[in-house]
Amino acid sequence: MHLSIEPIPAFEDNYIWLLRSTETEFCAVVDPGDAQPVIARLQGDGLRLGAILITHHHGDHIGGLAELRQTWPEAEVFGPEDRRITGLTRVVAEGDDVHLPDLEIDLEVLAVPGHTSTHIAYLGDDRLFCGDTLFAAGCGRVFDGTFEQLADSLQRISSLPSQTRCYCAHEYTLANLGFARWVEPQSGAVAAAIAAAEQLREQGRPTVPTTLADELAVNPFLRTSEPAVMAAAERFASRPLAGTTQVFSALRRWKDERYD
Protein backbone atom coordinates (compact mmCIF):
# COMPACT_ATOMS: atom_id res chain seq x y z
CA MET A 1 0.00 0.00 0.00
CA HIS A 2 1.36 3.38 -0.94
CA LEU A 3 0.16 6.24 1.23
CA SER A 4 0.40 9.73 -0.18
CA ILE A 5 -0.17 13.03 1.56
CA GLU A 6 -1.33 15.93 -0.57
CA PRO A 7 -2.26 19.51 0.24
CA ILE A 8 -5.71 20.86 -0.59
CA PRO A 9 -5.30 24.65 -0.53
CA ALA A 10 -8.06 26.60 1.20
CA PHE A 11 -8.70 30.28 1.96
CA GLU A 12 -5.64 32.50 1.54
CA ASP A 13 -2.93 30.27 2.95
CA ASN A 14 -4.42 27.17 4.63
CA TYR A 15 -3.51 23.61 3.73
CA ILE A 16 -6.03 20.84 4.35
CA TRP A 17 -3.94 17.65 4.26
CA LEU A 18 -5.38 14.74 2.29
CA LEU A 19 -4.23 11.20 3.18
CA ARG A 20 -4.93 8.72 0.42
CA SER A 21 -3.65 5.45 -0.92
CA THR A 22 -3.70 3.59 -4.19
CA GLU A 23 -5.51 0.63 -2.60
CA THR A 24 -8.77 2.18 -1.48
CA GLU A 25 -11.25 4.90 -2.34
CA PHE A 26 -11.46 5.86 1.34
CA CYS A 27 -9.29 8.79 2.37
CA ALA A 28 -8.83 11.10 5.35
CA VAL A 29 -8.39 14.85 5.72
CA VAL A 30 -6.85 16.96 8.45
CA ASP A 31 -8.41 20.28 9.55
CA PRO A 32 -11.00 20.93 6.84
CA GLY A 33 -11.70 24.61 7.40
CA ASP A 34 -13.70 24.73 4.18
CA ALA A 35 -15.76 21.88 2.73
CA GLN A 36 -15.91 23.02 -0.88
CA PRO A 37 -12.30 22.45 -1.95
CA VAL A 38 -12.35 19.05 -0.20
CA ILE A 39 -15.57 17.98 -1.92
CA ALA A 40 -14.24 19.16 -5.27
CA ARG A 41 -10.95 17.24 -4.89
CA LEU A 42 -12.53 14.03 -3.57
CA GLN A 43 -15.27 13.95 -6.17
CA GLY A 44 -12.79 14.79 -8.91
CA ASP A 45 -10.53 11.93 -7.84
CA GLY A 46 -13.32 9.43 -7.10
CA LEU A 47 -12.56 9.30 -3.37
CA ARG A 48 -14.79 8.87 -0.33
CA LEU A 49 -14.12 10.43 3.02
CA GLY A 50 -13.48 7.85 5.75
CA ALA A 51 -12.02 10.02 8.48
CA ILE A 52 -11.51 13.62 9.53
CA LEU A 53 -8.78 14.63 11.98
CA ILE A 54 -9.14 17.92 13.86
CA THR A 55 -6.21 19.59 15.66
CA HIS A 56 -7.98 22.57 17.27
CA HIS A 57 -11.19 24.56 17.35
CA HIS A 58 -10.37 27.55 15.13
CA GLY A 59 -12.80 28.18 12.29
CA ASP A 60 -10.19 27.85 9.56
CA HIS A 61 -9.67 24.25 10.76
CA ILE A 62 -13.22 23.05 11.48
CA GLY A 63 -15.44 25.26 9.30
CA GLY A 64 -16.08 22.51 6.74
CA LEU A 65 -17.01 19.81 9.24
CA ALA A 66 -20.81 19.99 9.10
CA GLU A 67 -20.98 19.99 5.32
CA LEU A 68 -18.47 17.16 4.99
CA ARG A 69 -20.44 15.06 7.47
CA GLN A 70 -23.58 15.65 5.44
CA THR A 71 -21.79 14.57 2.28
CA TRP A 72 -20.09 11.53 3.88
CA PRO A 73 -22.13 10.63 6.99
CA GLU A 74 -20.05 7.50 7.61
CA ALA A 75 -16.83 9.47 8.14
CA GLU A 76 -15.30 9.19 11.61
CA VAL A 77 -14.35 12.57 13.11
CA PHE A 78 -11.47 12.65 15.59
CA GLY A 79 -10.56 15.67 17.69
CA PRO A 80 -9.81 17.01 21.17
CA GLU A 81 -12.32 17.40 23.99
CA ASP A 82 -13.52 20.98 23.51
CA ARG A 83 -17.08 22.28 23.55
CA ARG A 84 -16.16 24.75 20.82
CA ILE A 85 -15.94 21.80 18.40
CA THR A 86 -19.20 20.14 17.39
CA GLY A 87 -19.47 17.05 15.25
CA LEU A 88 -16.75 14.80 16.65
CA THR A 89 -17.53 11.10 16.65
CA ARG A 90 -14.47 10.25 18.74
CA VAL A 91 -12.82 12.46 21.29
CA VAL A 92 -9.09 11.72 21.55
CA ALA A 93 -6.39 12.78 23.98
CA GLU A 94 -2.67 12.41 24.68
CA GLY A 95 -1.46 8.88 24.03
CA ASP A 96 -4.57 7.69 22.17
CA ASP A 97 -4.18 5.72 18.99
CA VAL A 98 -6.10 6.83 15.91
CA HIS A 99 -6.41 3.77 13.72
CA LEU A 100 -7.36 4.40 10.09
CA PRO A 101 -8.07 0.89 8.82
CA ASP A 102 -8.66 1.85 5.19
CA LEU A 103 -5.28 3.55 4.97
CA GLU A 104 -3.59 0.98 7.21
CA ILE A 105 -2.05 3.60 9.41
CA ASP A 106 -1.99 4.40 13.09
CA LEU A 107 -1.46 7.87 14.43
CA GLU A 108 -0.59 8.70 18.01
CA VAL A 109 -2.23 11.72 19.60
CA LEU A 110 0.09 14.29 21.20
CA ALA A 111 -1.25 17.04 23.43
CA VAL A 112 0.45 20.23 22.20
CA PRO A 113 -1.36 23.12 23.92
CA GLY A 114 -0.25 26.73 23.60
CA HIS A 115 -1.75 28.14 20.39
CA THR A 116 -5.01 27.03 22.00
CA SER A 117 -5.53 25.27 25.32
CA THR A 118 -6.74 22.01 23.72
CA HIS A 119 -4.59 21.77 20.59
CA ILE A 120 -3.49 18.24 19.65
CA ALA A 121 -1.23 16.80 16.94
CA TYR A 122 -1.19 13.43 15.20
CA LEU A 123 2.06 11.47 14.80
CA GLY A 124 2.75 8.32 12.82
CA ASP A 125 5.22 6.91 10.34
CA ASP A 126 7.58 9.86 10.89
CA ARG A 127 4.86 12.32 9.97
CA LEU A 128 3.44 14.95 12.27
CA PHE A 129 0.18 16.76 11.56
CA CYS A 130 0.77 19.72 13.79
CA GLY A 131 -2.01 22.18 12.93
CA ASP A 132 -1.06 25.68 14.06
CA THR A 133 1.48 24.65 16.73
CA LEU A 134 4.59 24.53 14.55
CA PHE A 135 4.98 26.27 11.20
CA ALA A 136 7.94 26.10 8.86
CA ALA A 137 10.40 28.57 10.44
CA GLY A 138 7.80 29.71 12.95
CA CYS A 139 5.03 28.75 15.33
CA GLY A 140 1.44 29.69 16.10
CA ARG A 141 0.50 32.71 18.14
CA VAL A 142 -0.65 32.22 21.70
CA PHE A 143 -4.45 32.55 21.79
CA ASP A 144 -6.11 30.77 24.70
CA GLY A 145 -3.12 28.71 25.73
CA THR A 146 -0.06 30.09 27.50
CA PHE A 147 3.47 30.95 26.41
CA GLU A 148 4.78 28.28 28.78
CA GLN A 149 2.52 25.64 27.22
CA LEU A 150 3.59 26.53 23.70
CA ALA A 151 7.27 26.53 24.67
CA ASP A 152 6.85 23.07 26.21
CA SER A 153 4.90 21.74 23.22
CA LEU A 154 7.57 22.93 20.78
CA GLN A 155 10.28 21.48 23.00
CA ARG A 156 8.50 18.18 22.84
CA ILE A 157 8.11 18.32 19.06
CA SER A 158 11.79 19.18 18.67
CA SER A 159 12.76 15.99 20.47
CA LEU A 160 11.05 13.79 17.85
CA PRO A 161 13.29 12.03 15.29
CA SER A 162 14.91 14.61 13.01
CA GLN A 163 13.54 12.99 9.87
CA THR A 164 9.97 13.68 11.04
CA ARG A 165 8.04 15.56 8.38
CA CYS A 166 5.87 18.33 9.77
CA TYR A 167 2.61 18.97 7.93
CA CYS A 168 1.75 22.50 9.04
CA ALA A 169 -1.67 23.96 8.35
CA HIS A 170 -0.53 27.26 6.79
CA GLU A 171 1.82 28.56 4.11
CA TYR A 172 3.59 31.14 6.27
CA THR A 173 7.14 30.06 5.51
CA LEU A 174 8.58 33.09 3.72
CA ALA A 175 7.16 35.57 6.22
CA ASN A 176 8.45 33.41 9.08
CA LEU A 177 11.91 33.21 7.52
CA GLY A 178 11.97 37.00 7.37
CA PHE A 179 11.62 37.06 11.14
CA ALA A 180 14.18 34.25 11.49
CA ARG A 181 16.60 36.56 9.66
CA TRP A 182 15.89 39.34 12.16
CA VAL A 183 16.81 36.94 14.95
CA GLU A 184 19.87 35.41 13.26
CA PRO A 185 21.02 37.80 10.51
CA GLN A 186 24.33 35.93 10.09
CA SER A 187 22.72 32.52 9.55
CA GLY A 188 23.67 30.80 6.31
CA ALA A 189 20.96 28.19 6.94
CA VAL A 190 18.29 30.89 7.07
CA ALA A 191 19.60 32.53 3.87
CA ALA A 192 19.58 29.17 2.08
CA ALA A 193 16.05 28.43 3.33
CA ILE A 194 14.82 31.79 2.02
CA ALA A 195 16.30 31.08 -1.42
CA ALA A 196 14.73 27.60 -1.49
CA ALA A 197 11.31 28.83 -0.32
CA GLU A 198 11.29 31.70 -2.83
CA GLN A 199 12.00 29.27 -5.63
CA LEU A 200 9.17 26.94 -4.58
CA ARG A 201 6.69 29.80 -4.27
CA GLU A 202 7.66 31.18 -7.68
CA GLN A 203 6.76 27.76 -9.06
CA GLY A 204 3.47 27.85 -7.17
CA ARG A 205 4.51 24.93 -4.98
CA PRO A 206 4.02 24.52 -1.22
CA THR A 207 7.03 24.89 1.08
CA VAL A 208 5.62 22.30 3.47
CA PRO A 209 5.97 19.65 4.74
CA THR A 210 9.20 20.62 6.37
CA THR A 211 11.48 18.27 8.25
CA LEU A 212 12.38 18.63 11.87
CA ALA A 213 16.06 18.62 10.87
CA ASP A 214 15.45 21.72 8.74
CA GLU A 215 13.40 23.35 11.50
CA LEU A 216 16.13 22.78 14.05
CA ALA A 217 18.51 24.65 11.71
CA VAL A 218 16.36 27.71 11.01
CA ASN A 219 13.31 28.01 13.27
CA PRO A 220 14.11 30.52 16.04
CA PHE A 221 11.33 29.11 18.24
CA LEU A 222 13.14 25.73 18.28
CA ARG A 223 16.54 27.36 18.77
CA THR A 224 15.96 28.99 22.14
CA SER A 225 19.10 27.48 23.64
CA GLU A 226 21.38 28.78 20.85
CA PRO A 227 23.58 31.62 22.14
CA ALA A 228 22.85 33.86 19.11
CA VAL A 229 19.09 33.41 19.55
CA MET A 230 19.28 34.00 23.31
CA ALA A 231 21.31 37.17 22.74
CA ALA A 232 18.81 38.48 20.17
CA ALA A 233 15.87 37.77 22.50
CA GLU A 234 17.67 39.55 25.36
CA ARG A 235 18.27 42.60 23.16
CA PHE A 236 14.54 42.76 22.40
CA ALA A 237 13.57 42.23 26.05
CA SER A 238 16.28 44.65 27.28
CA ARG A 239 17.05 42.33 30.15
CA PRO A 240 18.80 39.03 30.83
CA LEU A 241 16.59 36.00 30.23
CA ALA A 242 16.88 32.84 32.28
CA GLY A 243 15.98 29.65 30.48
CA THR A 244 14.45 28.62 27.19
CA THR A 245 10.85 29.43 28.17
CA GLN A 246 11.74 33.07 28.80
CA VAL A 247 13.69 33.20 25.55
CA PHE A 248 10.75 31.65 23.71
CA SER A 249 8.27 34.12 25.22
CA ALA A 250 10.44 37.10 24.30
CA LEU A 251 10.76 35.86 20.71
CA ARG A 252 7.04 35.27 20.40
CA ARG A 253 6.28 38.78 21.76
CA TRP A 254 8.92 40.33 19.53
CA LYS A 255 7.35 38.77 16.44
CA ASP A 256 3.80 39.68 17.56
CA GLU A 257 4.63 43.30 18.39
CA ARG A 258 7.20 44.31 15.81
CA TYR A 259 7.16 41.95 12.86
CA ASP A 260 3.68 40.67 12.05
Q: In the complex with Zn ion, which residue's Cβ is closer, 58 or 223?
A: 58
| Active site annotation includes 57 | no
Q: Which amino acid appears at position 46 of this protein?
A: G
| Active site annotation includes 58 | yes
Cα 229 to Cα 123, 214, 246, 251: the distances in Å are 28, 16, 12, 9
| Active site annotation includes 170 | yes
Least distance to Fe ion, CB of residue 11, Å: 9
Q: Do residues 122 and 30 touch, judged by C-beta distance below 8 A? A: yes
Positions 130 through 169 that interact with Zn ion (CB under 5 A): 132
Q: What distance in Å separates the CA atoms of residue 139 and residue 239, rounded to the nearest whole number?
A: 23
58: contact with Zn ion by CB under 5 A: yes
34: contact with Zn ion by CB under 5 A: no
Q: Do residues 193 and 137 touch, judged by C-beta distance below 8 A? A: yes
Chain positions contacting Fe ion, by CB under 5 A: 60, 132
Q: What distance in Å separates the CA atoms of residue 243 and residue 256, rounded to the nearest whole number?
A: 20
Q: In the complex with Fe ion, which residue's Cβ is closer, 60 or 102?
A: 60
Q: In the complex with Fe ion, which residue's Cβ is closer, 20 or 119?
A: 119
Q: In the complex with Zn ion, which residue's Cβ is closer, 82 or 102?
A: 82
Angle between helix axes 244-254 and 227-237 (nearest 10 degrees) is 60
| Active site annotation includes 132 | yes
| Active site annotation includes 96 | no
Out of 61, 82, 102, 152, the active site residue is 61
User: At residue 53, what are phi and psi to the nearest 5 degrees?
Assistant: -110, 130
252 binds, among Fe ion, Zn ion, none (CB under 5 to 8 A by kind): none
Contact residues: Zn ion, CB under 5 A: 58, 132
Which positions are catalytic? Answer: 56, 58, 60-61, 115, 132, 170
